[in-house]
Amino acid sequence: MSANKINERVTRYSFGGVNCYLIDDGRIRVMIGCVPEMYGDAYAAAAGAADAVILLTSKPEYAAGLGVLIKNRPDIAVYASPAGLRNIKEIVGCDINEHIVKDGAACSLAPDISFYAVPDVHWVDTVSAVYSGILFSGELFSGAGTEQGLEGFYRSRLDVNRGFVRTALEKLSGIDIETVCPARGEAIYADGLDSLFESFRQWSGEKVRKTKKAVIIYASFSGFTRLLAQKAAERLAEKYESRLINAYETAEDEIISEINDADILLIGTHTVNRNAPKEIWRAVAGIDLVNKRGMEYLVFGSFGWAGDGIKLINTTLASMGLRRAAKPVEVLFRPSAEDIADLYKALDKFSE
């Protein structure tokens, strides 16, 4: 555990890279944030004399250590959102002295502290707190001074919920803030706040394209599925920005990035021992189901016996919440002119 002063009333404690902040104004002592379970004893020592704990989220890596403090101080007031209070009781396995945090309201114990709901940044129960010009932002704005950095942390944790990040930025930008104290990384002071908010607006901004993007991922053993993929790419290029990717020759990270940048998705696969190849399954596993739920897709492929790989991928995408544009195009060995015509008919069923 390390400790350093933010100002004369606020002290930052860091436990394995997770920050908590103790506000002590001479009248009231409030600990903002918590720690992973492994740091519970050290956290309890740091917060032992506090009057209250404010949980910005119940996410276990930021809250599970509360159990030790509750065991020592069952009377301590715990402030969190309704979802956060429900979750933390299940995480620590006991009742707590719970107080509900309301959006835009002041803390009942410490009126100088105000709460702002920022759901899904990164958990649905997340709130931020403001005290005397200091924003306790949780995961938002985390990462400064770390190996990941601000953008790296954002990309790894928050980009999946970028729409909620934009909403949080809009809400918090209307508040008088002089310092940002995040859950991870260094504090950010007044002279860096304008660029901080602008960077997050750019990172979380919606992409605007004149032409929709079609991504075709394929795995082909004998070249027959590759032929279908090439024909699909040529056909789609008439209306879409078309990207053709060989799953056997392209890095997994690049495949996943392309899929999650797509407007429509096509997956072509052959069948290996009644299954799709692992490269195709890895691509499917990387689909961002928060932002890509409802994306239209089509599965196609060549097979020699039952074509199980095609059927499995189609069923899986549907169960993940993607929307099938047409039934799978299944071809026995080499595609004929009639098979290509069937493929084109399926492609034409994608929504404009």
Does 25 map to a domain?
Answer: yes
Q: Is the same domain home to 104 and 158?
A: yes
**Residue 1: pLDDT band with limits 50, 70, 90:** confident
Q: Is the same domain home to 165 and 32?
A: yes
Q: What digits encode the pLDDT tens for the residues 38-82?
A: 999 999 999 988 999 999 999 999 999 999 999 999 999 999 999
Q: Is the same domain home to 9 and 107?
A: yes
Does 58 map to a domain?
Answer: yes
Residues near 263 by beta carbon (within 8 Å), at least 6 away in sequence: 209, 212, 213, 214, 240, 295
Q: How many helices (H) and strands (E) does the chain have?
A: 12, 18
Q: Which of 254-258, 304-308, 332-336 has the lowest mean pLDDT?
A: 304-308
Q: Is the same domain home to 112 and 162?
A: yes
Residue 206: the pLDDT is 81
Q: What is the dihedral angle through the alpha carbons of 178, 182, 188, 190, rounded to the nearest 10 degrees?
A: -10
Q: Which amino acid is at 39?
A: Y
Question: Distance between CA 132 and CA 145 in Å, rounded?
Answer: 24
Question: Distance between CA 71 and CA 139 in Å, rounded?
Answer: 27
Domain CATH for 73: 3.60.15.10
- Concatenating the DSSP letter of every residue in 221-242 gives SSSHHHHHHHHHHHHHTTTSEE
Reference 51, options 103, 95, 1, 113; nearest CA is 113
| 193, two tokens | 């706040």
In the chain, what is the straight-line distance between the N-terminal and C-terminal CA atoms, in Å?
A: 56
Check whether 83 has a pLDDT greater than 80: yes
**φ and ψ at 314, to 5 degrees?**
-60, -45
Does 79 map to a domain?
Answer: yes
Sign of CA dihedral 192, 198, 201, 202: negative
| Contact predicate 94/70, CB 8 Å | yes
Reference 84, options 66, 71, 109; nearest CA is 66
Check whether 207 has a pLDDT greater than 80: no
Of the candidates 172, 204, 236, which is a domain's last residue? 204
Residue span of the structural domain in which 295 resides: 213-347
Q: Is the same domain home to 171 and 114?
A: yes
Check whether 352 has a pLDDT greater than 80: no
| Contact predicate 226/246, CB 8 Å | yes
Question: Distance between CA 266 and CA 247 in Å, rounded?
Answer: 12
Reference 135, options 85, 182, 193, 71; nearest CA is 182
3-state secondary structure of 24: strand
Q: What digits encode the pLDDT tens for the residues 14-41?
A: 999 999 999 999 899 999 999 999 999 9
Q: What digits encode the pLDDT tens for the residues 114-172?
A: 999 999 998 999 999 999 999 999 999 999 999 999 999 999 999 989 999 999 999 99
Residue 113: the pLDDT is 97
Reference 312, options 350, 269, 349, 346; nearest CA is 269
Residue 45: the pLDDT is 95
Number of domains, the chain: 2
Does 6 map to a domain?
Answer: yes
Q: Is the same domain home to 220 and 179?
A: no
Of the candidates 162, 178, 204, which is a domain's last residue? 204
Q: Is the same domain home to 145 and 265?
A: no
Of the candidates 179, 204, 229, which is a domain's last residue? 204
Residue 122: the pLDDT is 86
Residue 183: the pLDDT is 97
Check whether 90 has a pLDDT greater than 90: yes
Q: Is the same domain home to 121 and 243?
A: no
Q: What digits encode the pLDDT tens for the residues 268-281?
A: 999 999 999 999 99
Q: At what angle do helices 162-172 and 193-204 cross, to 10 degrees?
A: 150
Does 352 map to a domain?
Answer: no
Task: Please list the residues that pair with 135 across neighbouring strands.
Answer: 130, 180
Q: Give percent of the chain above pLDDT 90.
A: 92
Q: Is the same domain home to 285 and 335?
A: yes
Does 56 map to a domain?
Answer: yes
Domain CATH for 338: 3.40.50.360
Q: What digits encode the pLDDT tens for the residues 324-340?
A: 999 999 999 999 999 99
**Residue 203: pLDDT band with limits 50, 70, 90:** very high
**Residue 190: pLDDT band with limits 50, 70, 90:** confident
Q: Is the same domain home to 192 and 49?
A: yes
Does 322 map to a domain?
Answer: yes
Q: Is the same domain home to 141 and 234?
A: no
Does 229 map to a domain?
Answer: yes
* Mean of pLDDT values over 173-199: 94
Q: Is the same domain home to 22 and 157?
A: yes
Q: Give percent of the chain above pLDDT 70.
A: 100
